[in-house]
Structure formats: C-alpha cells, structure tokens
Structure 1
Amino acid sequence: MRRTAHTVILSICFILTLTACSNSPTGRNQLLLFSGNQMADLGQRSFEEMKQSQPISQDKAVNTYVQCVTQAILKVVPPQSNFSEWEVVVFDSEQVNAFALPGGKVGVYTGLLNVAETPDQLAAVIGHEIGHVLADHSNERLSRSQLAALGLTVTGMSLSDSPHAAMAMAGLGLGVQVGILLPYNRAQESESDKIGLQLMHQAGFNPSASVDLWRNMAKASDGAPPELLSTHPSPNTRIKALESGVSRLPNVPHRMTAQCQRPRTN
C-alpha cells in the first residue's frame, strides 16, 4: 500500500512538472491544469442548464439597464481566445447575486438591484464578476480541487491500515478546506475586486461606488460566516482594500453613470 501511495505521489509530481504555471492579470502565480477550451465548454454547459432551470426576467427596462452597464464594461475587455461573444442573462430571482462563467457567460439576478442601488454600484459587481473570467479563477479553483482530491486519496492509502484512519482523514479534509481551498478563494475575490475597479474605471463608471456597494452588502449580510471560513473577504476588509485601490486611480469623467438609467421601482 505504501508503494502504491508512493507511485501516486510521483505521478502527481510528474503532472505538476509538465503543467505550465502562469500568472494572473495582477501577477499572482497560478496553476492551471485545464485548457481554455475545456473551461469554456464547462461554462457553456453550466449556463445552458441554468437557463433551463431558472426563470429569466422578461422586464424590458431591467434587461436594458443591466445590458447597458454590462456592455459598457465589455467594451474595455480585451478579446478572448476561447470564445468570441459574451452572453448576458438577467434571472428573475430575489437572490442578491451575479456571476460570470468561462466562455463569456454573465448572469445577473434581479435581487441584486435592491442592493446595487446605482449604475456605478452595479458596474462594480459586473466588473468584479468578469474579473473572475479574465483571471481564469474557475480553472484555478478546479485545478486546486483536483490536487486536493489526489492528496486525500494518497493519504487514505497511507493510513488505510491505521485504527485511527477515519479520524485522521476527517481532520485532513477540514485542513484542506480551510488551509488551501478557502484562503485561495479569498485571494481570488480580492484579485477580482482589483480587476473590477480597473474595468469600471476604464468604462467610465465611478469606482468609488464600489465602496458604497460593499457597505450596502454589509448591511444586507447580517449573520454571515466569519472570514476564516468564508470564501469572501469580510466587508470591512474589502472596503478598506477598495478605498486604497480607488485612491490610486486617476480622476476621469464618469460618463456612463448618466447613460445607463436605473429602472424605477415601486
């Protein structure tokens, strides 16, 4: 059994040796085990499933508004090698959420508009989510998950003869989750905040609105899990980082703020 575990370890090392490490848009080292085409295919399939299973908003004013903000940001996004067009869908749901998937798929839930109160605040969310795609965060997360699963398999082989194997594996599983996957995701979230600030700024939105957005988010997220066990930085941590990022941006006209008109709410 030890010999088998040793073989698996050597195989993992061989894979890592052959896998080219790359850098994210902010210069952070990344390990990407999957091709861009593979990730784009996964994103496409996931998005199609969501469109089949979740109601899509038919509100023309809401769709026009979300499209206006999103398309303004996409104009400053460089062409992508694995897909040619972005698709934006507004889902009719009270969820305060938005997402972007590999392959250029963007989803916005109508509930987000209750927290993102202005075009600039909505642009902060959209820019952040598109930042995840530009930085290959889905590929990175999936790659990390695959390596964590391999590590657990190897450890299970090594401990299989131990009377405390089950307890050890349970403890290791928690360690992998807290020590590798969740902190890494927090790093991705912070990185997407930086990318999102740049995108909304270049597109002509007011980047200071990102701070207002997360103050709104903090008010709407009572009872959220502690930062240690969350995939997102705490609102206070996020706000401080955004304020620092905004202070380093040059002043430019916020031309898109007036052009994307938020629909009136009852």
Structure 2
Amino acid sequence: MTQVIACIDGTNISPAVCDYAVWASLRFNAQLEFLHVLDKSEYPTESNLSGNIGLGSREALLVELAALDEQRGKLALEQGKLMLDAARQRAIAQGIENPGSRQRHGSLVETLIEMETDIRLLVLGKHEDHLSQHLGSRLENVVRTLHRPILITTASFKAPERVMLAFDGSPTTRKGVEMVASSPLFRGLPCHLVMVGVESDTAREQLAWATSSLEDAGFKTEARIIDGEVERVLCDYRSDHAIDLLIMGAYGHSVIRRFLVGSTTTSVIRNASVPVLLLR
C-alpha cells in the first residue's frame, strides 16, 4: 500500500511539513506516516574516542565522553518520539485517522530507498539557512536518488488554490501532465501550463495536447508560451498569477529539466515562496 510520507526533524518547518502532508493525504485518501531519522553522523550508535590527541592514556575521560555521547543519543531519540507523537496528534486533529510514525537511526537517503516502493508522495521541508549556497546535501541527495514525487514545502502552510506546471513537450513533462490529470491531488484546482521558449507550430501543438489532456480530466486550464530565461519566466509568472504550488519534472536534458540540475535548481527552490512538487 502506497502512502504519504512526511519527514520531520523538530525545526520550525515541521508544522508546515505536517500540514502539507495532511492536505495531500486527505486529497489522496491515502495513509499518512511521519518519519524521523537520527543521522548516524550526528548521533553514532557507537563512539570511539581513542584517536583523540592527548586522550589515549586517559581511560576514565574516554569512558565519560562515551557515556555523554550515548546519553545525547538517547535524549535525541526521546525527543524524536515526542515530535512524532505531536505530529500524529496534529494530523488527527485535522481529520487523519490513525496516522503512522516511524523512527530510524542512520541515513535519511538509505532509509527512504528502503521505503521507496511504499511511497506515493514524499513531503520534505526546506531549511532556509541550509540553502544559502546549495540545496543542502541531504535534500539534494534525496531528490537525485528517489524516484517518487517529492513535495518540498515552505515554512508556512497554505492550501493550494492555483497550481502551475512547467511544460516543455518532452516525454518526462508529458508524463507529468498525465500524472496531474489522473491524480486526485489537484482535482478541482485551476492549473496553469507554462512553456518557456520561442512560440512555434510544434510548441503550440505540444501545449494544445497538454491543455486538452488536463481539460478532459476536468481541470480549468490556462496555457502560455513565454520566451525568456527559464528561471525568471517561471518565477515572474508564479508571482503575477498568485500561484500556490509549482509542479516540475526532475532531471534530464531538456530546457526545463536542465533547470533542475545545478545552481539554477538551487536558486529557484531557495527563492520559491511556494512549495515545489518534483515529479520523476
């Protein structure tokens, strides 16, 4: 059974992650599970301090430091359990029946890979302080590794009322159109299709296919072809039309998908004032 998985870490973005996951779970009518992973680099299961310079002969101090490290790990584990319980109670108050929770010690990416077949949608929050120069290693690794839809949230929740799908006519973004058309996640919401590039017969034909696919599924659709630099076009359109959520295909070689590799991806996700749904 596939489900919505929400990763929480106790920071200020966790409530928004919880609320977006609840929103998606209710729209999907899918099970919701909260996940908390204690990173093994920060909370190792075993400590070996014998390599510390000047401490090799001070066994009592080594034992004490190891005990403190173990205690720190236990406190983090207990804090995580309290966070998971708080997230469950928040979800229940919003209408979720029996949300699940899972706590793991290790790597977030490795944990999600193990769970991948059960994930219908992964919900992650972006840490603003970690995005000054890059996406943040864990978030970027998850996006690059996982082949499931990933919703990257902002720090505050707003139920989406208008969504925008970046489209380039490629097989990946055509698949994205089909996923949106067949999914209950955005059912009943206006969908804006934006194609970045020079207007041509081919572009108009591709956009017409995307528009009819969404309209046949019951979506009210507005479609545009806009020439310009990809990031600026998408950001300006999002702002001008009060878009609440941006939908994009992740990775590849077309103009839109190259946009999701390297510094441009970093810039858009970092500067986005709305959540970004990455489709694989």
Higher helix proportion, which one?
1
Fold shared, TM-score > 0.5 on shorter chain: no
